[in-house]
Structure 1
Amino acid sequence: MKITAGAPPTHNKPADLALGFLTGGVIGASLTAFISGCVVEKASLIVLGLVLPAAYGLLFFLCTLPRRAREAAVVPRTALAVIESLEAVGGETSDVPVRFDLSVAPDDAAAFRVEIRQDVNLVELPEYRPRGVLVVEYPPDRPWKTRIVKRPTPQWEQRAAVAQVDSVPGPAMKSDPTEGCAGGLLTLLGLLLGAGAVLLLFRADLFDSHEGDSGAPKPSVSSSPSTTTVTSATGTVTLGPGQSMLDEGELRKAVESLTRGADKRQALTVVVQDRLLTVVFSPTGVKTAAFDPRSLPYDRVPGLVEEARTTLGVESPQSWQLTADGVSGSLTLRVMVTGDGGTGTLEADGQGKVLRRSGS
C-alpha cells in the first residue's frame, strides 16, 4: 500500500482572528450594557444587553448556513486507520475524552496522519490500544475531521480485524488547531473595546444623570446668601447656587427666618423644594386647620426625600417637592417625585413615619 504524508489543514487564520475579535466585542458590550442597566435602572440598556448577543448569534448562524450546508452535503469516506498513540485527557464521567494519533490509509487516496479528540466510554477504552487497526470516517475535503466509527459494518469490521496499516511519517493534522496567544489577545481586546464603547455611548445615562439623581445633599460650592421675602399671606426663602434645603440645618433656618416675631404665625401649607421654601400663612383672626411650621420633623425630611426617590419606581427622578398641611386635622407630609417614567408620592405623618406610597 502506498503511503504519502498528508499536509496539515489550511485554516483561514485572518477570518478566525477577526471572528474572535468581534465575538469578544459583542460579549464585552452586552455584559456591560446589561450590568450597567441593572445598576442605573435603565430598561434600554438591559434590553440592549439581551438583544445584542441574540442578534449576533442569529447573524452568525445565517452567515455560516451556506458553508454548513455545503459541508453536510459531502459524503464521508470510510477508511482503515492504525492507532499510533492515544492519551486520555480528562473527564470525570463515563465518557472520557481521548486524544488519538492516527495514520489513515484510504483505499483510493493518499494516506495521511491526523490527531483527533473523541469521547470513549470507560468500558470500551481497553479495546483501543497502540498499533490497533480500526475503521474511521472523514470528509474528503476536511480530513482533520476524522472520526472513529464505533460500530462499523460487518464488512469493514472484518477488514479491520485482518488488515495491517503502515505508519504515515510527518506532522499530524489536528482537528482542534491551537491559534496561539494572538487569538486570545484579540478576543480580550475586542471585549475591552466593546465595554468601552457602551460606556462612551451611554455616558450621560451612566454617569451624568446618575450623579445628578443622587438623593444625597450636594456639597456647597458657593456661600451665596439666601433671599427671604415675607408678606401678609406668604413667605419664601430662596437659596443660592450650590445650596439645598436638604443640607443639614438649612430647612430649619429657613423656616425660622419666616416665623420670627411675637405672634408666631401659623401656616396653612409649607412647600419645600431643593432651593425654595414657600409658607402660606393662616389669615389673622380666621379659624382654619393651621399648624406651627416650626413643628416640621426637620431631621426626617432628607430621609423621606431619599426614600421617595428610590422606592416609588419613578425612572430617573429629576425633581422633588415636599408639601406639609393640616387639612386632615393633623400634620401630614407628602413627598412627590417626578422623573422620566412619571410621578410618585410618599405620604408620612407629622413625625415622619411613612403611611403610604403610590406611583404612576
Structure 2
Amino acid sequence: MSAAPTHLGPVALARGFLTGGIIGAALCAGVTGVVIESVPVFLAGLGLPLGYGVLFFVAGIPRRAREAAVVPRVALARIESLRAGGTETGDVPLTLVLTVAPEAAQSFRVETTHHVNLVDLPRYRVGDVLVVEYPPEQPWRAEVVPRPAAEWARRAAETVVEPAPESTLVQRPPEGCGFTVVVFIGLLLGAATVLGLFRAELFSPEPVAEEPASSSESSESSSTTVTSASSSATITVGPEQSLLDAGELRRAIDALAGGVDVSEVLTAVVEERRLSVVFAPADSAVPRFDLREVPADRIPDLVAQAGGTHDVGSPRTWQVTVVRLPAALTVRATVTGPGGSASAVLPPG
C-alpha cells in the first residue's frame, strides 16, 4: 500500500525553493558566461551547486544524527521474489520483495535492494526467511541484516513466514505536487535573476555604422554598411550592387580599411553583396595578411572561371575565400548551383 502524500512544512518547501533557485541560476550563469565570454560568470555557474551541496550537507548533520539515534526494529522476512541486476564487480545488486513479519504487528510487503557477493547468490531463494531491520516510522527503508545475531539466525532457520497480500506493499510517501511547484518556481526565478543582472551584456545590439560612398565610375549611388567587432568585421553593399561590379570590391575594402585596422586578417570571405573578415588574435602566431593586398580586380574573372569549369546550372551563388597558407596568399572561388559546385584558385602573381 502506498502511503499518503507527505504534507511538507515550511522548512521543506523553502529548501525546495532554494534548490530550484540554485539549479536555475547555475545553469543560466553557465550559459551566460559562454555567451558573453566571461570566465568569472561561467565559474560562478559551476561554484553555485558545489557551494550549495556543501551547505546542504552541513545543514543535514543534525537530522542524520537524529536518524542514527533511532533504534531500528528487527523482524523476520520471507523472500517473495528476487531479481539480480548487472554489475562489473563481485557484488550483485539483488532486488528483493519481502514479506516482513514484525512481532505484535501486521505483516506487510516491502521492496529493497541487497548487495550480495556473486559466490553467495545461490543461497538466496524464493521462500527463504531472512532477518531485516527498519526504522519504526519508516518501514519502506527495510534492509537485510547480512550477519544477524545467533538468536535471530536460529529463529530465521526455524520460523515459517506466511506471505502477505501484494496490496500491503509499503513505499516511500510521495512528496506531493506542492514541492514540485516550489522547485519549478525557484528554478525560474533563479534563471530570471541571472538574466536580469546581465541583460545589458546579453541583449545590447552591436554598434552599426553606415557610411555612404559615391562612385565616379557609376551613374547609380553606392551605399555600404559596415559592422565591426573586436574579432571580425563585415561590409555590405546596397541591394542594387554586386561586389563583382567593376571596382566595387576595391571600394568596399577601402571603406572597411577606413574604419578598422585590416592589416592583421586571418580569413576573408567575399559574397555577392557582403565582404566578411576575421582578424587574427593578437597573441597567436597564425598566418595573417593585409586585406588591401587582395587582388580585387582579378576576382570577377576568377568567379567566371570557376563557373565555366562545370555546368552547375542556374540559379547559382558564389563565394570567394582568401587565406594565407602558409606563406602565399590563396584565393579560391566556389560557384554553387542545382547541378553541383565548381571552384577555381587564383594563381599567384
TM-score for both structures, normalised by structure 1:
0.54
Question: Is the partner of 1:71 in helix, strand or coil?
Answer: helix
Question: Is the partner of 1:99 in helix, strand or coil?
Answer: strand
Matched to 1:62, the amino acid is: V
Counterparts of 1:51-130 in structure 2, within 5 Å, are 51-91=47-87, 93-107=89-103, 109-130=105-126
CA distance in 2, matches of 1:188, 1:194: 10
User: Of residues 148, 152, 167 in structure 2, which corresponds to 1:152?
Assistant: 148
Contact 1:116 1:146 in 2 (8 A): yes
Contact 1:85 1:130 in 2 (8 A): yes
Contact 1:9 1:144 in 2 (8 A): no
Q: Relative to 1, partners in 2 of residues 1:300 and 1:224: Cα closer, same or farther, differing over 3 Å?
A: closer
What is the aligned partner in structure 2 of residue 174 from structure 1? 171
CA distance in 1, matches of 2:15, 2:256: 63
User: Of residues 263, 269, 273 in structure 2, which corresponds to 1:300?
Assistant: 263
Question: Is the partner of 2:263 in helix, strand or coil?
Answer: helix
Q: Relative to 1, partners in 2 of residues 1:22 and 1:121: Cα closer, same or farther, differing over 3 Å?
A: farther
Q: Relative to 1, partners in 2 of residues 1:13 and 1:86: Cα closer, same or farther, differing over 3 Å?
A: farther
TM-score for both structures, normalised by structure 2:
0.55
CA distance in 1, matches of 2:6, 2:87: 28
What is the aligned partner in structure 2 of residue 29 from structure 1? 25
Question: Is the partner of 1:167 in helix, strand or coil?
Answer: coil
Percent identity among equivalent residues? 44
Q: 1:156: how far off?
A: 1.6
CA distance in 2, matches of 1:183, 1:82: 35
Kindly tell me the number of residue pairs found equivalent between the two proteins. Answer: 250
String of CA shifts for 1:269-310, please: whole Å, max 9, x gaps: xxx765xxxxxxxxxxxxxxxxxxxxxxx85366699647x5
Contact 2:7 2:175 in 1 (8 A): no
Question: Is the partner of 2:23 in helix, strand or coil?
Answer: helix
String of CA shifts for 1:163-220, please: whole Å, max 9, x gaps: 1122333421125x667999888867765664454334312223427x45xxxxx4x5
Counterparts of 1:205-354 in structure 2, within 5 Å, are 205-208=201-204, 211=206, 218=208, 220-221=209-210, 223=212, 247=235, 249=251, 252=254, 300=263, 307=279, 310-312=281-283
Contact 2:101 2:108 in 1 (8 A): yes
CA distance in 1, matches of 2:77, 2:136: 15
**1:142 and 2:142 equivalent?**
no
What is the aligned partner in structure 2 of residue 264 from structure 1? none
Q: Pairwise CA RMSD of aligned residues? A: 4.5
Q: Relative to 1, partners in 2 of residues 1:199 and 1:66: Cα closer, same or farther, differing over 3 Å?
A: same
Q: 1:250: how far off?
A: 6.2
Matched to 1:300, the amino acid is: S
Q: Relative to 1, partners in 2 of residues 1:138 and 1:301: Cα closer, same or farther, differing over 3 Å?
A: closer
What is the aligned partner in structure 2 of residue 263 from structure 1? none
Contact 2:6 2:175 in 1 (8 A): no
Highest Rg: 1 or 2? 1
What is the aligned partner in structure 1 of residue 36 from structure 2? 40
Contact 1:9 1:142 in 2 (8 A): no
CA distance in 1, matches of 2:60, 2:192: 28
Contact 1:80 1:135 in 2 (8 A): yes
Q: Relative to 1, partners in 2 of residues 1:120 and 1:23: Cα closer, same or farther, differing over 3 Å?
A: farther
Q: Relative to 1, partners in 2 of residues 1:62 and 1:142: Cα closer, same or farther, differing over 3 Å?
A: same
CA distance in 2, matches of 1:254, 1:107: 89
Question: Is the partner of 1:116 in helix, strand or coil?
Answer: strand
Matched to 2:121, the amino acid is: L
Q: Relative to 1, partners in 2 of residues 1:112 and 1:59: Cα closer, same or farther, differing over 3 Å?
A: same
Q: 1:36: how far off?
A: 3.0
